[in-house]
Structures are given as structure tokens and as C-alpha cells.
Structure 1
Amino acid sequence: MTASLSDSVSGSVSVSPSPWWRQAAVYQIYPRSFADSNGDGMGDLPGVTARMGYLSELGIDAIWLSPFYPSALADGGYDVDDYRNVDPRLGSLTDFDAMVAAAHAAGIRVIVDVVPNHSSNRHTWFKAALAAAPGSAERARYHFLDGLGNDGELPPSDWPSHFGGAAWTRVVEAAGPNAGSLGQWYLHLFATEQPDFNWDNPEVREDFHTTLRFWSDRGVDGFRIDVAHALVKDMSLPLRSKPDLEILVDDGSDPLFDRDAVHEVFEGWRSVLNEYDPPKAAVAEAWVPFTDRRLKYARPTELGQAFNFDLLQAPFLATEFRAIAQKCLSEAASSGASSTWVFSNHDVVRHPSRYGLPDGSTREDLEAWLLADGATPALDSARGLRRARAATLFMLGLPGSAYLYQGEELGLFEAAELPASVLQDPTWFRTLHKVKGRDGCRVPLPWSASEADFGFGGIPWLPQPEWFGEFAADAQAGVAGSTLEMYRAALKLRRELQAEESLEWLSSPESEVIHYRRPNGWEVITNFAAVPAVLPSGVDLSRVVLTSGTATEAADGAGSEQAGTIPPETTLWLAP
């Protein structure tokens, strides 16, 4: 029986022809950790090119590369020295062009990361700012201010850094009347090595237009915009207090985030992206609350998409997943955007680990678990992977774009046991070892169970745990029920079954079961309960074309579909 009309969600938008990105499966590559072609222990662009066959067989529509630009790696490459070049350790512009050509030949589009909130402290502009005097044009590209106190010894505000410590660093003046003495302070919402740009400066805006054209002219198909909501800031004096960056004023008046003027920036970007045929795609990383303000970044006049992190942050509960999916789809339809879905990326604990920890675990609990090297509380890995697979198939059936993080197709868990001696995330250092950080989701991938360094290509820059071997790509390829084969099958079917951007919620006799149908008759059923659930009436099991359950679970008969039930924490796909 169909649910009430009010529960029907239509995201259909009149776009002809429909842009490729609206329902794309996008695979995020963290270049240093994907594949190493020269044995130096760091992944590189030729390594990506060499694995293009794997990516093609996986069935994704596009790759998104995290920063590959020259960098001191103070923040894993998000401290950019030069926005229009390649880090020599990762290759060259020639290697980049070869990678793009190989991707396009395989029918895969290329998205690159743009980091506009801040540069590195090695950027030409910042070095010029340090060499110039206060009040100079060079300093006007960033946020330099005099300090407070009797002698400017206090930072200009109480703003903290996202990575811990203060968001201000004082410099020794190289020019002017106070040369050789401590002088002004510069703003960095992240690491000290990441000074924030001043987006009120026309020169900054135009330089990023140049960067967008540079990569677009080299064949890039789209851009992911890092910290898109933070560019424009209220620097009027006296600076307003904001001791907690996690609390956002949700009306455009926050001094640091989601200010109305940021949309002028992205309207300018859209003008540049529309110079190309077809227009270049873009997606905003905007950590903005679940309101219509987030939709502004996704308007056709701006970037076109904005990440929905709501499922990523949600517990594995039917009520949460359905409410989030319905709200995101409704809001996307009202803005003309398509929705986006994501469970893991380079900034968060991998979702099989999140789902394997005790229900109700908070972000603080996750941080404590990482500090305990993953020893306490005990991780229920079987349940974590089972839930992750079910959640993935639930998500891949939804209208919109699916963003996948490298290694999730292998079922990788967080490498929580990394010792302190190898950690590189600035969070670890700036919190004085109180927060372990994001290194555990960035460990280089295992390609071969039997090869040295699991086939990565060299001794990895972060050590791979021994258990990575059982998750290696070659240990799963061709193995029925493996996570890799589930992803391959799902992405292939998703492309074949793709329909208009809408769905219809169907009723179910169980509160922990979600059942929805796409316009062409493709149905998705997920049991979120830890016990078998009664199948919705009228479900024809002969139409089941994919299940998130493993081959072992099927052999064990756990919650057999033949008995009229759906197994615990399992998703089924039914063909039209």
C-alpha cells in the first residue's frame, strides 16, 4: 500500500539535458594514500592513472581528488603553496594531464579540490605580506590586525582555531618602524601554517577566477570547494566574541561563517564555470545547519550542489534516515539542486567503525576511542560492516549524487591503532595530544594481500595495520558477497536502474523498515533492526537483484527472505 501523498517526495527538475553530476557516483581519492607509482611511500598522480582500470570496473562516474598541489603538508595538503601546480612528490602537470586523459578515456570525469579560505604560509603572497609593512597592499590580501593590550601582546579576539589553540599568530615585523620587533597578528581558522585570505579584497577574488580557468582549461570537469561557508568574515572592530566555532548563528550574522556576502563570491564563480560548454560542476563543503541557508550554495546561480552531511552524522535508525532523506530531497527540489549523500571522507572516522561502536556514541566518544587506540570500547566489527553495507545500499538507491571515499568499497575500518609516533594530523599537536585526529581514515589502501606493503607501491607514509590484508582489493575481487563485489554490483545496477529524481515512500508493517520506490519501479527496502523483520506485503522476492548481506550470512540463513522476512540490518534492491 502506498503512503499518503504528503509523504511522496518529488525532486524532478526540468533540466534538459540533465547535467551528468545530478545523479553521479563520485569517488574521492586522497592522492597520497591511493597508489604509489615510484616506491617513495607516497601516493601520486601516476598511481591514480595506473589504477584507472580498477576505478572503471568499480563503476563510478567521477573521481574527486583531494589537494595535490605543492604543500608542506602541515594539514595533509590543504595548506596550498601554489594553486596552479602539482606537488613534485605527486607528479607534474604533464602527469596530471595524462591522468585526466586516462579518466576521460574510461568515461570517468575529474573533480579537483579548491581550498579558498586560506593559503599556506609558504604561498608567494603570504611571504610578501610578511616582508611588507603593516597597512601594505600585500597584507591586505590576508587578515593582519594589531593586537590588544598595552603593547599589542594579546590576540585581536578570542577566536579559537579548528585544530586547537588560538586562531591568531603574531609576527616579527620585517619592515616599517617596528622592524625586528613583535608586531601584528594574522588570522588562521585552522593551522598556523594556513593564513586566511581576505575575501573583501578584489585581487583575491580575481586570482581564484584565474585558478578555476586554469584547471578547467586542462579538462577538469568540476570543483569541490573546501570550507565554502567561511570565506567572508566580519572584521569590523572591535571584533565580536566567538569562543566556540561549533556554534553557528544561523541568520547570516555570524562573524566568521555563512555570511550573506559569501554568495556574491560564488555567483562570480558560477559566471566563470558557465564560460565552458558544458558548464563546470561544483559542490560546496558548507557545514551549515539543516536549513534553507545551506541551499543557497547549491542554487543554479552559484555552485549547483552542497554536501549533505546529515546522514553521515545520523545514528543507524530508520526514523533518522527517513526524515533526513525526505527533508534533503524536498529542499533540493525547491532549490533546483540535486541532493548529495556521503557516509565517509578524509575528515571523519570511517562509517563501519562508527556503526560498530555502541549505539549512542558521540563525537567525544569517538575521540576517546581513538585515543585508546581502538581498544575500548570493543568494536563490533561484524555489526559495523553489516550496517555500513545496508546504509550504503539505502543511500545508493536515493535520487542525487553519491560521494564515496576511497577504501569504503573494501569495507575498511578506521585504523584506530596508529601509534602517537606516526601521527601527522595538526589536530594531534595543536590540542596537545588530546584529540588524535584524522590520520586513521587516511592510511594508504591495501591492493594485494600477499605483496609487501599490501601492494601500495612503497613503505607507506602512514603504517598499514596487519588486518588490512584481509580487506585487500585482490582478496575480494571476484569473491561473491565481498564488500568490493557488492559495490561493483550496486554501482552497475544503479546506472542501469537510474530514474527521475524522485521517490515514493511505501508503507511497511515494521517501524524499523524503510521501503521506497523510484518512478521506474525500482524498490529499496532496509531493515534497521537488529532482528529479522516482516517483509512488506506484496513484495515479490523473485525481483530481488541485490542484497547488502554477505554470502556467509546467506549461507547461515540469518533471517531468510524465503521465510518472509528481511535479515537484520540489511537492504534489498528489487528490480522493476
Structure 2
Amino acid sequence: MSEPSASSNDRLAHPYARPWWKDALVYQVYVRSFADSNGDGVGDLAGIRSRLGHIASLGVEAIWLNPCYPSPQHDHGYDVANYFDIHDEYGTLDDFDALLADARNLGIKILMDLVPSHCSIEHRWFIAALASDPNSPERARFYFRDGKGDAGNEPPNNWQSAFGGPAWTRLDADPTANNGKGGQWYLHTFAREQPDLDHTHTDVHQLFDEIFKFWFDRGVEGFRVDAVAGTGKHPDLPDQPPVGPEVGVLDITWMNEYTVFRPEGHDVWRRFRATIDNYESGHPGRELMMVAEAYAVRRPELVKAFTEPDQFHQMFSFDLMLTPWEKHSIEQAMLDPIAILAKTGVPPAWTLNNHDIQRIVTRLGRSDAHLPEIWTNNNLALSRADVDLALGERRARAMAALIFALPGSLYLYQGEELGLPEVFDIPADRREDPVFERTGGAEIGRDGCRVPMPWTNDASSSYGFSTPRADGTVGEPWLPQPTAWGERSVSEIDDIENSTLHMYQSLGEVRDEFAVSQPLEAQTIDIGPEVIAVRRGDLVVVVNPTDEPVQLDLDHRELAITQPVFASEPAEMHTTGVIPANSTIWFSS
């Protein structure tokens, strides 16, 4: 495939001019797993530069980089030690600037990942806090508290970590320390290596003002903001009310009303938005943005609160990512985001995959994926049902064809364009997700969706992930790849007609031509009891979520003057009105 030029990635002209981020196609790069340029087994910025042609071939307008700041990598970048530099395994600031310049030449913007709720135990502030006395200004930037019980031996409250185990870690158990209260405890909503920042502190305000300016000055166009639900705490830090035994260990935190979706968090987002708006006003021509990551599925009131005009520009809609493969569930997953768009003008940021959840090919391939009662916030991640990967890939293709048509922006996760499945057989001693360690292996964690990308069928180069060193050797990839990984590589499926890669490339083109050219609105319509249908302007998208072909009435008033223009199973696209099982067809006048 030839390298795309900047002009080949330009959006087709259409009458609905709007900020680029309102309906952008964005590609998420998990830096550590995308491409390794120096043979050490770890992805890096130079590796991304070498594969920009692949990203551009999908028609994307922006790349979102998972955290690539200096970090001890206890949570692979989400424990930030320095917000103003690049992690040495990934390169340097010069490498970042070169990536940004190359991307810009292809018409692609760069978004960074911002982690405001916590930093790393190796951040200079936390190191200073450890060296300071209780109640010192250095500790006031975090949540340090005396413990309860004799000599403070018990945590300050009963909060649990989102990764399992207590949300508090003690510094020093010496009972004579701190005037007999023992060593203080510090709060970490996630891993113990990720101390929570107290955003009521003016130093924290100033830090994030400086972070925005630093990266905007380099040319970054926006931020995906991590874990916004857990930013902000009840000032008294009271105990969480008891939860029932049916609540999973990883769900307890997200039911804690004193640390999740707090009003104090919205004060943080207002400050962030004011910083962005002030910067933008002084730099004409820039269209900056931030998008919120919070799992507020089926809670439209939360989405509205986060996307008030003085807060986030957009918020991720995980509804379709988490829905079972069933008509009513899929329709319901579209209704709230589309209704919010109609009322507020804020378009959703859709996605089907990311670095925190099992890949959709595996999830939709499970034998219980069609059952509405299995819906959870992890959508089948806890299911032990059998997986049919061929069926899962077909359903995932159909879901992608639906989501590409919807109003709003769309975030792809690296490898979904290859139809990659979740990898389960990672040896315990190779797993790196702190979820696995903190739950004693009871939860396998998120490593399975982070396995390095396969680019070729050459096992000696980690399936093209690593560029060999001068002596021809490559280091072992940081996570092991399956032996059949090369069969799903870019080079292998690029030669297969109607491959998932080809479908994604085509979807990028038809999205511009038939979807983005429509208004930012959509409605579900009724054209039959077995199918899902969505109208967006002149475009009608029909999904058959059943395991049998469905005959459509092409004389129906919604379809009468249309013709099929795209299908998730293109070999079966025709004008007889039969929509194949587990597939999607676009119709347009």
C-alpha cells in the first residue's frame, strides 16, 4: 500500500462546518505496544513515526497517545513522575516534536493523555512529602491522614482501591512516631504507587495550568483526561457505606459516593476549561479540546454535568462498547448519547475498544454475548462462556460499521482494525497489570488487550513489532505474543480481499462521504422487528444482530429512494433487500 499524502487524508468538504473534534476520527496508540524502533521489546515514539502511514491509511484526523511521560511504570505510564518530559524508554522531547511534525504533515493532530487524579510515588512532590513532617505543606498536596485505632494502626477509613485491596498505605508503623499516632497513611484510589493529588491545593492548580501550557506550546491539540470519576473527595473522608456480597472487588470503589462523581471534581474541570479557553483566545486558529473518561453508562445526568459549557468539550460514550449483541440493548445504548446531543449540542465520543477492556472480537464472540441480562460495566469480561472468534469478528465488524455512521467523534484502539482478539494465555510471571498483583491473581487484569501489535508474520522480529538491532537481534517483547499472532498481522491481511483492515480503511472513506457530511443528529427508526435502523440525514444504517438473514422491504418509506453504499460483509451486499446475519449495511439516496 502506498504512503498516503497529506491531501489524501483531508476531510471532504461539506456544508456543516464545525470544530474538528466534534466528529473526528481518532486513533488510540498504546505507545508501549505499537512499534519498537530499537529492538528492546518496548514500543517508542520513533516506532510510531515509522508506522504513521498505516494510521493515515485509516483516514484518522488525530492520534491519542497513552501516557508517555517519565514513569516507574507500575501502571505503565498512569503513574506519572514528571508531566513535562518523555519517558526514556519511549524517546525524548525531540523525538516527540519529530512525531508531531511528521503527523502534522499528514494532516494528523496529536492528543495527549492527562492524569490529574494521581501521580507517581517518584514524583518530586511525593518524595518531598515523604521527607516532611505530618501536617507539612508538602503533605498537603496529597491526602495524608493519621490512622485510627491504637497508635494509628488502622486506615483512616474503609475505602477500597479500584485495583483491589485497601485504598490506604502506611508510611511507618513505628508506634512512637507522630507523637504516638504512628506513621501517617496516604490515599491512593488505584495502586499504592499512585498517590492521589488534592486538587483543592493551589500548588496543584498551578501545576496543571503549567502542564496545559507546556504541551499546547509544543503543538498538542487536546487531552484525553483520565479517571475523572474519582477526582475530588468529600472533605471529611467518611467511611463508605457497606456494599453487598454480590459487588465485585473491582466495583466497590465505583460505588463510593464520597470519592466518585463528586461536586469537588467539577470545580477541577471548570479550572481546566478556563485554562484551555484562555490559551485558545490568545492563539487564534487553534481549536483545543479535552475529552473526559468516565464510565457513566446509562446515567445521562452525569454526562450532561460533565459536558456543561464550562467543563469538558466531550465525554466518552462507552454505551455501545459495553452493550450485549441484541437489538433492544444496542438501541438503548444509542438513545441516551443521541438524546444528549439533541438537547445540549454536545456530540459523544464513541469507542468500541480501549486499553482497559477486553477486545470486542472476544467479547462479542462469547456464546452469551446476545443475552441482555449479562450486561455489566465490563461487558462479558467476567463471563466464562466459550468464544467463537470468527463469529466475534463478524459481529465486531457490524458494530464498527454502525458506530462509524453515528454523529460525534470516534476513537479507535490500535489493532481493532486487524480484528485482534483478547490474549488470555499470558503466563502469570509475565503479567504486568497491577490489578493482577493486587488481587492475588483472582482478576487477570488488562494485559490481554495490550499485547504488542503484529505487523508481519516474522516471528524473529516479534511479528514486525521490533526493528532489529545492528547485530540483527531483538529483545523479547514486554508482553508475550501468541504464536499465531503473525497470521493477523498488517502484512498478512493486507493481501486478503475484504479483510477487516480493508473494511476499516473503507469505513474511513465512506464516513467522510456519507456520514460526516450529514448534520450532527440521528434518530432510530422502525423498519422491521428484527433489525436496528438509524437515520442520519440522507443516510440510513441497518444492523441485523440475529444469526439469520433478514429480508428488508426496500419499498419502505425509509429505504425507497436509497441504494446500498457500504456493507460490513461486502461480498454479500446487493439490492435484493436481504441483510445477512450479524452484519450492517449503509443506504443512501
> Matches of residues 433-448 of structure 1 in structure 2 within 5 Å?
433-448=441-456
> Matches of residues 109-128 of structure 1 in structure 2 within 5 Å?
109-128=109-128
Match of 2:525 in 1: 506
Match of 1:12 in 2: none
C-alpha displacement of 1:562: 5.4
Aligned partner of 1:490: which letter?
A: L
On the 8 A contact 2:189/2:230 being kept in 1, the answer is no
Deviations 1:182-229 (A, max 9, x none): 500000011010000011112112211110111111100110000112
Match of 1:573 in 2: 586
On the 8 A contact 1:25/1:402 being kept in 2, the answer is yes
Match of 1:484 in 2: 501
SS at match of 2:320: helix
Distance 1:240 1:518, change over 3 A: closer
> Matches of residues 54-453 of structure 1 in structure 2 within 5 Å?
54-172=54-172, 178=178, 182-236=182-236, 238-241=238-241, 246=251, 254-274=257-277, 275-276=279-280, 277=284, 278-289=286-297, 290-359=299-368, 360=371, 361=374, 366=380, 377-450=385-458, 452=460, 453=462
On the 8 A contact 2:459/2:486 being kept in 1, the answer is no
On the 8 A contact 1:173/1:179 being kept in 2, the answer is no
Distance 1:462 1:133, change over 3 A: same
Aligned partner of 2:319: which letter?
A: D
C-alpha displacement of 1:181: 9.5
Distance 1:142 1:248, change over 3 A: closer
Q: Distance in 1 between matches of 2:160 and 2:560?
A: 56
C-alpha displacement of 1:137: 0.3
Aligned partner of 2:491: which letter?
A: D
SS at match of 2:171: strand
Q: Distance in 1 between matches of 2:238 and 2:98?
A: 51
Q: Distance in 2 between matches of 1:368 and 1:469?
A: 28
- Does 2:482 correspond to 1:469? no
SS at match of 2:274: helix
SS at match of 1:517: strand
Distance 1:61 1:279, change over 3 A: closer
Aligned partner of 1:399: which letter?
A: P
C-alpha displacement of 1:546: 1.8
Match of 1:548 in 2: 568
C-alpha displacement of 1:479: 2.7
Match of 1:528 in 2: 545
On the 8 A contact 1:357/1:384 being kept in 2, the answer is yes
SS at match of 1:313: coil
SS at match of 1:454: coil
On the 8 A contact 2:300/2:336 being kept in 1, the answer is no
Distance 1:130 1:377, change over 3 A: same
Q: Distance in 1 between matches of 2:342 and 2:113?
A: 26
Aligned partner of 1:447: which letter?
A: W
SS at match of 1:347: coil
On the 8 A contact 1:158/1:241 being kept in 2, the answer is no
Distance 1:325 1:117, change over 3 A: same
Match of 1:3 in 2: none
Q: Distance in 2 between matches of 1:337 and 1:365?
A: 26
Distance 1:246 1:365, change over 3 A: closer
Q: Distance in 2 between matches of 1:388 and 1:185?
A: 45
Distance 1:268 1:544, change over 3 A: same
SS at match of 1:183: coil
Aligned partner of 1:79: which letter?
A: D
- TM-score relative to the length of structure 2: 0.88
Q: Distance in 1 between matches of 2:117 and 2:172?
A: 24
Q: Distance in 2 between matches of 1:265 and 1:199?
A: 7
On the 8 A contact 2:151/2:182 being kept in 1, the answer is no
Match of 1:7 in 2: none
Q: Distance in 1 between matches of 2:60 and 2:484?
A: 26
- Does 2:513 correspond to 1:496? yes
C-alpha displacement of 1:507: 2.4
On the 8 A contact 1:357/1:377 being kept in 2, the answer is yes
On the 8 A contact 1:298/1:337 being kept in 2, the answer is yes
Q: Distance in 2 between matches of 1:339 and 1:67?
A: 23
Highest RCO, 1 vs 2 (Cα 8 Å, sep ≥ 6): 1
C-alpha displacement of 1:255: 0.7
SS at match of 1:67: coil
C-alpha displacement of 1:288: 2.9
SS at match of 2:510: helix
Q: Percent identity?
A: 39
Aligned partner of 1:258: which letter?
A: F
Q: How many residues align?
A: 544
Aligned partner of 2:554: which letter?
A: S
Larger mean CA deviation between 79-88 and 454-463 belongs to: 454-463
Q: CA RMSD in A?
A: 2.4
Q: Distance in 1 between matches of 2:318 and 2:237?
A: 34
Q: Distance in 2 between matches of 1:298 and 1:358?
A: 37
Aligned partner of 1:545: which letter?
A: V
C-alpha displacement of 1:438: 0.3
Distance 1:461 1:238, change over 3 A: closer
C-alpha displacement of 1:247: 6.2
Distance 1:247 1:303, change over 3 A: same
On the 8 A contact 1:314/1:321 being kept in 2, the answer is yes
Q: Distance in 2 between matches of 1:216 and 1:533?
A: 51
Distance 1:444 1:492, change over 3 A: same
Match of 2:8 in 1: none
Distance 1:339 1:134, change over 3 A: same
Q: Distance in 2 between matches of 1:541 and 1:441?
A: 42
On the 8 A contact 2:63/2:109 being kept in 1, the answer is yes
Match of 1:372 in 2: none
Q: Distance in 2 between matches of 1:129 and 1:383?
A: 53
C-alpha displacement of 1:383: 0.8
On the 8 A contact 1:415/1:443 being kept in 2, the answer is yes
Match of 2:5 in 1: none
SS at match of 2:184: strand
Q: Distance in 1 between matches of 2:119 and 2:253?
A: 24
Larger mean CA deviation between 207-216 and 280-289 belongs to: 280-289
On the 8 A contact 2:147/2:153 being kept in 1, the answer is yes
Larger mean CA deviation between 490-499 and 346-355 belongs to: 490-499
SS at match of 2:148: coil
**Ranges in structure 1 where 5+ consecutive residues have no aligned partner:** 1-14, 370-375, 555-559
Q: Distance in 2 between matches of 1:179 and 1:346?
A: 45
C-alpha displacement of 1:542: 8.3
Q: Distance in 1 between matches of 2:304 and 2:375?
A: 27
On the 8 A contact 2:157/2:237 being kept in 1, the answer is no
C-alpha displacement of 1:385: 0.5
Distance 1:231 1:564, change over 3 A: closer
- TM-score relative to the length of structure 1: 0.90
On the 8 A contact 1:147/1:156 being kept in 2, the answer is yes
